[in-house]
Chain A
Amino acid sequence: MNLSAENALYYVTGEAAFVDDMPEPSRLLHGLVVTSAEAHARIRSFDLEAARRLPGVAAVLSSRDIPGHNQMGPVIRDELCLAEQEVTFAGQAVFLIAAETMELCRQAAAEIRVEYEPLPAILSLEQAMEAQSLLGPPRTMCRGDAEAGLRAAAHRISGTLRTGAQEHWYLETQVCLCVPGEGREMTVYSSTQHPSETQALAAGVLGISRNEVAVEVKRLGGGFGGKETQANHTACWTALLSRATGRPVKIRLNRDQDMIMTGKRHRFRIGYSAGFDSDGLLQAVRFDFHSDGGAASDLSFAIMERAMLHADNAYFVPNMEIRASVWKTNLPSNTAMRGFGGPQAMAAIETILDRIARHLGKDPLEVRKRNFYRHAPGNVTHYGQTVVEPPLSEMADRLAASSDYHTRRRAAADFNACHEFFRKGIALTPVKFGISFTTTFLNQAGALVLIYADGTVAVNHGGTEMGQGLNAKIQAIAAAGFGLPAGQIKVNATSTSRVPNTSPTAASSGSDLNGMAVRNAIETLKQRIAEAMPAVFADRFGGEKSSAEDIVFEGGCIQDRRRPGCSVPFSEAMREMNLRQVSLAASGFYRTPDIGWDKARGWGKPFHYYVYTMAVSEVLLDLLTGEARLLRVDILHEGGRSIEPGIDRGQIEGGFLQGVGWCTTEEIKWDEGGRLLTHSPDTYKIPTSGDVPPVFHVELLEGRPNPGTVHGSKAIGEPPFMLGLSAWLAIKDAISATAGHREEPDFDLPATGEAILLSLQRLKPGR
């Protein structure tokens, strides 16, 4: 068992309270967001009076009723809290209603009269490109001369890859409870990954200062990036209703509303050209990245930047040019999701590697290995960061051996030769994922550690617990620091009142940053205690005076390591500290050292380190139905020295499967009016228990502690997501087998059953 007994208990007894489970304050009102059904339209007029007159309706608000700024763009201020003269996507918030019951909210919504004048809408990347509808200036990143490299190469391939959107589908939909306090104070209970930003934006719409808004986050029922910026929206709307009525208000989006209103993983359209020699060694690659940002910027530019920084994945590309554009469409603003642009870029470079192998008639693993980052000068990325001692080749060899890769590829070929309606496919894909926010200032964290006079400890930090096991890791770090059993440490709900100006729990950085901040706070406290303990020992045990350097915290006691028997239980020592007027509260702070990133030049060291992971997937493809089933998956993951191996395994398995969902069954569709068609689990299919591969091996590569992180650990959240690409390319391998691997299949992402059948169709001779 890896979670602390106490926390785990709450989850299985039903006591673990999510926002919607919290005891409801008296006089609670329920809130409803009234949204646009038009993708793009001018609001000619609206009438809220009939809705306002309904008994039991406490408030009906439009943008005119916002006391502060009508703005909730997290980075670029281009996202209105409530629409003004125009709506720019279907699902955009236009009005807010608070009433005694949700039923009354609905009745009030039906009484609202709005007159829309439809305007032409941009609903695809192609339309956006034709209309030159950019969200911001395009960007380029390059090293060497891609043009010359492509010209000089013995072989060239080029093509276009499309990757699909993905819905976060956190089980707990967006939810917020606001409780007004004295004067202008507001307490916000939100399911947010970014409490400080939620605080800032709620203060902004209310027109008050941040010290008047307290955001508290106990836990999230899943986030996956979908609550990094877009939990702010629900919080802002709830806060406005609470302010307008002076009463507590709760808004919980239902599943359909959530899917319709919130942004998704960015769709990408990627043009590529690659030049390589007869051994498959890459000479030059050129990419054109186009992403669908939706109606506002949100985090689109940071996401595109991370895509550009992962266009190489695990491969040294001597000449690289990446041109990137984020396009504005009339769809909900797309947002962060696990991988944050990395998956789309890796799908592209892995497509190139896969195509090179087919083009040259080589094994794809051989081609990949040939191109892995290696010794200097082949260890410098296209943005100038040195890849220190990449374990890629060793990992690939080890995984190929442990998974019987070569034997199984031969067996698959034999199988394919003697089956008419089935094909097997196998693929091994690597991931090299950079850890750190590329917006460098975000690489900071704060903590507040409190020791009470009974010897119990409360830890506060800026991260949010959303299923990634952050609090269990923090608890383990604190327990190790004080030499206490985990049960004596309590990790509090995240609160902007205790730790200010925090960064989002995102970019897989939660335990790296907050763990270090907690450790630093603990070191401060231990130092303070160690200086006061010699006097305690002298009073109790007499003898020679202890020295602060010899005080150790072990086994629930504080002791002098040079004087056996000179030991006091931690709880007693803390009572002594309190009596002797020693402060038992300390804050801790951490900022990632030695990183630096010149955004303008696209050059520097944006990442503290890289995480490496690899997977081999084998699929069975039914040529008649297009159904692909995962038969076996083997993963080898290099994650430093794991603080909690059980948690890390769960992240690897879960991340992989979520990646498989993005690559296969999860398909987002809009109708011709820009309205989401796949807005429920009826039509949007995330992986289920039946999609778990029957043989699923996960191995953590040991013996590589990560220098410069807490306990030598590495981040875990995002990298495994991109291992899903191995399943995707295994499907492509099976499709390709139907044409003897001589032809390049048409193959985009996701590979739904429909997409697979179409791809098979096109491969048929005489099509």
Chain B
Amino acid sequence: MSKEPENNCAGGPHGLSRRGFISSVSAGAAASTALREANAASFQVIEAVGTVLPIQLKINGITRKIQVEPRWSLLFVIREVLGLTGTKIGCERGECGACTVLIDGKPRYACMTLAVEAQGQEITTLEGLMDGENLGPVQQAFVEEDAFQCGFCTPGQIMAVEGLLRRNASPTMEEVRVGLSGNLCRCAAYQHIFSAATRAAERKKKGGMA
């Protein structure tokens, strides 16, 4: 049996479907006693397969109380438990970048991060870059520069650019290339993605939006 949780495994241990689980979370059905112990969940506790831990994940500004197996990746939890399907599955081995999210503002591969590791940190997915009903500056720049073709790597590319610009507001072209070197695009829309990164940097400076 593989150590990584299997991507397709939609329900949790209770056979809940992706959407079923969301509705139960929003209905406040998650066990509240377990939540108090959330902080006690730590990585050194090796649980048997199928054993779930209650944890809290702060995703896109909202704290979610969920139950996870210690071995589940953040990618699995984001997509299959929380139903945020903007984050994509590309290779599940930390090479392609389709699953890139921000953890405390830094781009990270969600496939290489355990959900339990991400407790207490700010997680941002593509859905969290929206500025209310409007596109965030990086999203807007991707539209304006036609910075995608098939669109499958796009969420990861946008998160990588967002992460780059948060640590370097005015990257040089070389810094953009390096900053995006962990994200593959088989359509090879790279040049347009570089242009979008540059345009997004300008937008952010002008608009002052985070």
A interface with B by C-beta (< 8 Å): 1-3, 5, 8-9, 11-18, 20-21, 23-24, 26, 28, 30, 100-103, 105-107, 110, 168-172, 219-224, 250, 252, 254-255, 466-469, 646-647, 650-651, 653-658, 680-682, 686-690, 692, 694, 696
Contact = CB atoms under 8 A, between A and B. Distances in A.
B10 interface: yes
Interface stretch (B25-33, B38-46, B115-123, B187-195): B187-195
Nearest to A10: B151
B180 A171 contact: no
22 contacts: A8-B143, A12-B126, A12-B140, A16-B151, A30-B8, A100-B15, A168-B186, A169-B186, A170-B152, A170-B186, A171-B153, A222-B152, A254-B92, A255-B90, A467-B148, A650-B149, A653-B189, A653-B191, A681-B95, A682-B95, A689-B185, A694-B173
A221 B154 CA distance: 10
Contacts of B173: 694
B146 A686 contact: no
Given A11-B154, A18-B152, A690-B177, A682 B17 contact: no
A28 B17 CA distance: 8
B83 to A, nearest CB: 9
Contacts of B1: 103, 106-107, 110
A101 B6 contact: yes
Given A255-B92, A657-B190, A647 B146 contact: yes
Nearest to A20: B89
Contacts of A690: 177-178, 181
B91 interface: yes
A14 B186 contact: no
Given A12-B139, A12-B143, A221-B151, A467 B187 contact: yes
Contacts of A656: 188
Contact of B142 (A12, A15, A250, A467): A12
A681 B93 contact: yes
A30 to B, nearest CB: 5
B25 to A, nearest CB: 16
Contacts of B202: none
A696 B189 CA distance: 13
Contacts of B143: 1, 3, 5, 8-9, 12
Nearest to B173: A694
A171 B93 CA distance: 13
Interface string B136-148: 0001101110101
- Which applies to chain A's interface (DSSP): helix, strand, loop or mixed? loop
A467 B149 contact: yes
A466 B91 CA distance: 19
Given A13-B139, A657-B190, A103 B95 contact: no
Contact of B18 (A2, A24, A169, A651): A24
B7 interface: yes
Contacts of A105: 6
Contacts of A224: 186
Contacts, number: 192
A698 B104 CA distance: 39
B113 interface: no
Contact of A171 (B9, B10, B98, B125): B98
B188 A657 contact: yes
A495 B114 CA distance: 39
B116 to A, nearest CB: 18
B188 A654 contact: yes
B91 A681 contact: yes
Given A9-B143, A12-B135, A102 B92 contact: no
A13 B127 contact: yes
A650 B2 contact: no
A650 B189 contact: yes
Interface string B141-170: 011101011111111001000000000000
A634 B91 CA distance: 33
Contacts of B19: 23-24
B81 to A, nearest CB: 13
Given A650-B189, A650-B192, A690-B181, A1 B146 contact: yes
Contacts of A168: 186
Given A1-B144, A28-B10, 14 more contacts: A2-B146, A11-B151, A12-B154, A17-B85, A221-B88, A222-B149, A222-B150, A255-B96, A467-B151, A467-B152, A650-B189, A688-B181, A689-B193, A690-B181
B88 A171 contact: yes
Contact of A222 (B17, B49, B178, B187): B187
A31 to B, nearest CB: 8
A21 to B, nearest CB: 4
Q: Sort A-B residue pairs by CB-CB distance and give the 10 closest, nearest first.
A: A14-B86, A467-B150, A221-B152, A102-B6, A467-B149, A657-B188, A681-B95, A21-B85, A654-B188, A171-B152
A15 B87 CA distance: 10
B90 A692 contact: no
Given A12-B154, A103-B9, A680 B93 contact: yes
B130 interface: yes
A654 B9 contact: no
A594 B181 CA distance: 48
A692 B18 CA distance: 39
Contacts of A24: 10, 17-19
B82 interface: no
A650 B5 CA distance: 36
Nearest to A31: B8
A16, A106, A224, A680 pick with most chain B CB within 10 angstroms: A16
A662 to B, nearest CB: 12
B52 interface: no
A14 B188 contact: no
A219 B151 contact: yes
B189 to A, nearest CB: 6
